[in-house]
Amino acid sequence: MITWIGVMVMVTSALVAGASAETTSTIPAPRAAVESLPPAPPAPAYTPWNQFANDLRDMWARMYERVPERLRDDPQMRAEVSRLMLEGMLQQTVEALGQNGDHPAFMPHISFYMNVGQPNADTIYKRAIVTPGGTYRLRGRRGNLTIFKMGQMGLTPDQTGGGVRALSYGDFSTLKVDAEGRFDVLLSPTRPAGYSGDWWKLEPDTRTLLLRQVSQDWSKEVDPAVSIERVDVPARRPRATAQEIEARLRDIPRRTFFMAGFLVDHVEQMRREGYINKLRVLDVSNGGALVGQFYYEGAYELGEDEALIIEAKVPAHCGYSSMILTNDIYETTNWFDNHSSLNGSQYHVDKDGVLRVVIANRDPGVANWLDTAGYRSGAVQGRWTDCDSQPVPTARKVKLADLARVLPADTPKVAPAEREKIVRARRAAVLQRPLW
C-alpha cells in the first residue's frame, strides 16, 4: 500500500495493443506501441472529466520540478517518474472508487503495484476510511503473523493531499479469539453501556484506519482476514450522487501528485546531507510509523565492481527486523523478482553476533545479499521493531573482488543455481499472500 481495473486496462492496452495470444517457446518481438487513439466522436463537454484530464496533464511539469536536477533529464528516470505517477494514481483511484466512511472496507493501500511511500517488503498495508464519531465492528480470523496492528490516522496540518499522523495503535494479538481463531472488536468513541466484548476507543480525529500485516516467514505464517462495518447506520448503501462521484474524480489528481511527489527527493536530501554509503537514524516522530519501530537509512552509490557491506550487532531480543532497498525516487526495489530485501528469518547472523549484509548489483555469492536490480544509486533502509536495542549499522564500500578477504571465513555461500531457487521460492511465497 483494488474497480481500478478499467483504469489500468486503458493504460496497458495502449502499451500492448494487439499482443499475440499464441503460446510459443520463445518470447515474441514486442510490437510498436499505439501512438494515439483514433479521433474522438462528437460529444457534449463534461466539465468534471475535462478538469480531471487537465490536472493529470499538468502533473508531469509539477513532478519534473520536484525531481532532483541530477536525475530529471535522464530518459530512464523520466520513464520511472511516469511509473511513480501511475502508481500514485492507481492508489488514489482505488480509494476514490471504493472508500466511504459509512460503508468502509479495508482496501490495498501501498504495495509492489502501488509503490509510493516506500512500502516494506514484509508488510501488507490496507486502509479504510471512517467517519469521526461512528461506531465500527471489526471481525475476522487473526492468523499468526509476527505483527498485526491497526493504526488510527489523522490528517497532518498540511491538507494538500492526505499526509497522516498516528493517533493510536491497536494490537490484534491482545484480542480474545474463539476456537477457530476468530476475533470480534468494537471501535467507538465510548464503550457502549453493558458491552463486555473487546473494545477499542475511536479517537476523535481519526479519519482512516491503517492495517499493517507484517510477516517474517512468507511461506509459513498465516495472514489475517478482517472485515469492517459501521453499525450505527443502516447497512444498505444508496446510489452515489453525481456530486459525490464528481468530487472524488476531481480530487484524484491532487492526491496523486501528493503521494507521488511527497518523497521523490528524499534520497537526494540524504545525499546532500552527506549520507552517501553512510547510515543515520530516520526521525518518524511526526508521521504514521508503526509504534515501537526504529528506522535507520542512508543513500548508496556503487560501481559495477563495488559492494557496500552493512554491519550491525543484532539486538539480543527483537520482535522483528528487516532491511530493504529503494531507488533514487524512493520506490522500493522490486522484492518480488529480486533478492532485494531481508528480514530476521531470512538473514544469517555471524558467530560474533554481527549481521553483515552485502549490497551489490551482481550476485556476490553470499547468503546475505541485497540486489540493487540494476540501480547504481538509491537508498537502504532498516527497521528494528520491539527490540531491546536499536543499533545504527555501519557501512563500508569495498571492491567485489575483495569480499572474500574482508568477510568472515565462515560466511555462508550461495551458488548461482541455489540463488535461482531461493528467488523463485521468495516470489511464490509473497504472491501467495493476500495482496489484493
Task: Report the SS3 class of residue 278.
Answer: coil
Q: Structural domain boundaries of the chain? A: 5-13+47-230, 268-431
User: Taking phi first (over 0 means left), then psi (-120 to 50 degrees means alpha), and beta for anything else, what does residue 133 get?
Assistant: left
Residue 152 cell numbers, joined: 488510527
How far apart CA 60 and CA 55 sit, in angstroms, is: 10
pLDDT of residue 290: 82
pLDDT of residue 35: 76
Fold of 268-431: Jelly Rolls (2.60.120)
User: Taking phi first (over 0 means left), then psi (-120 to 50 degrees means alpha), and beta for anything else, what does residue 421 get?
Assistant: alpha
How far apart CA 25 and CA 22 sit, in angstroms, is: 10
pLDDT of residue 436: 81
The DSSP string of 285-312 is: TTTTPPTTEEEEEEEEE--TTEEEEEEE
How far apart CA 261 and CA 29 sit, in angstroms, is: 35
pTM to 2 decimal places: 0.89
Q: How is the beta sheet containing 182-188 ordered, strand by strand?
A: 198-201, 182-188, 136-141, 225-230
How far apart CA 17 and CA 19 sit, in angstroms, is: 6
Buried b (16+ CB within 10 A) or exposed e, 22-33: eeeeeeeeeeee
pLDDT of residue 165: 83
pLDDT of residue 280: 97
Residue-by-residue pLDDT tens, the chain, 436 positions: 333 334 333 333 333 333 333 434 455 565 666 678 899 999 999 999 999 999 999 999 999 999 999 999 999 999 999 999 999 999 999 999 988 999 999 999 999 999 999 999 999 999 999 999 999 999 999 999 999 999 999 976 554 344 568 899 999 999 999 999 999 999 999 999 999 999 999 999 999 999 999 999 999 999 999 999 999 999 999 999 999 999 999 999 999 999 999 999 999 999 999 999 999 999 876 666 787 899 999 999 999 999 999 999 999 999 999 999 999 999 999 999 999 999 999 999 999 999 999 999 999 999 999 999 999 999 999 999 999 999 999 999 999 999 999 999 999 999 999 999 999 999 999 999 998 8
pLDDT of residue 221: 97
Per-residue pLDDT tens digits for 4-60: 334 333 333 333 333 333 434 455 565 666 678 899 999 999 999 999 999 999 999
